Amino acid sequence: MLLFCFFLQFSMVYAQEGKSSEFEKTGTELFYSNDFVGALPYFEKALEQNPKSAKNHYFLGEINFKLERTKVAMDNYNKAIELDTVNFTYYKDRGRLKAHLKDYRGSIADFNKSLEISPDFSDALFDRALSNYQLKQYSDCISDFTRVIENNPKDKEAFYSRGSAKIDSGDLIGGCTDWSRAGELGFIKAYETIQKKCN
């Protein structure tokens, strides 16, 4: 009898996880098709089946962020991090939300945590550079963009953004050189900026 009860309980858990996986799969497909409104109920149902899934909380955070439901998104990210404290992407995206809310110092703390876990994570370096730029911490900003460029020497947006930071820190030649490189790599907007500020 005890064995039967255990088997029944195991079967119920397995069935719930199977349903959760189906909801996750459909939700993920809709998410990556940019159908965030459509994806939302599938991840909510997946979470009902598996409330301790950090990944589902994270995806709900991403969806709610996209839908400008920032308070709910913050709660989702917080729960994802509570359940999985070593996922560097979760910290990075909560940092993005904080930056969106103009909490630049708070965002930098999250980007720092992300980079503690994954030191060469270019997305976190790029986003930390943007937050440092907003705080006019140009030296730190330039340092992060330089690391992004070292990781990917063809990152045209990093060249353009580093150029802007150099200009604002008083390095006209360095900034214009970075903008020129961004243009060479296909960031055509850079040439408009060069015409206005470098000639």
- The reply to whether 192 falls in a domain is yes
CATH number (domain holding residue 38): 1.25.40.10
The string of pLDDT tens digits covering residues 23-82 is 999 999 999 999 999 999 999 999 999 999 999 999 999 999 999 999 999 999 999 999
The string of pLDDT tens digits covering residues 146-190 is 999 999 999 999 999 999 999 999 999 999 999 999 999 999 999
- In this structure, are 96 and 162 located in the same domain? no
Q: Per the confidence metrics, is the pTM higher than 0.75?
A: yes
- The reply to whether 26 falls in a domain is yes
Residues 107 and 99: beta-carbon distance below 8 Å: yes
User: Cα separation of 163 and 148, whole Å?
Assistant: 13
- In this structure, are 128 and 186 located in the same domain? no
Domain containing residue 173: 156-199
Top pLDDT among 3 and 128 is at 128
- In this structure, are 117 and 183 located in the same domain? no
- In this structure, are 143 and 160 located in the same domain? no
- In this structure, are 71 and 125 located in the same domain? yes
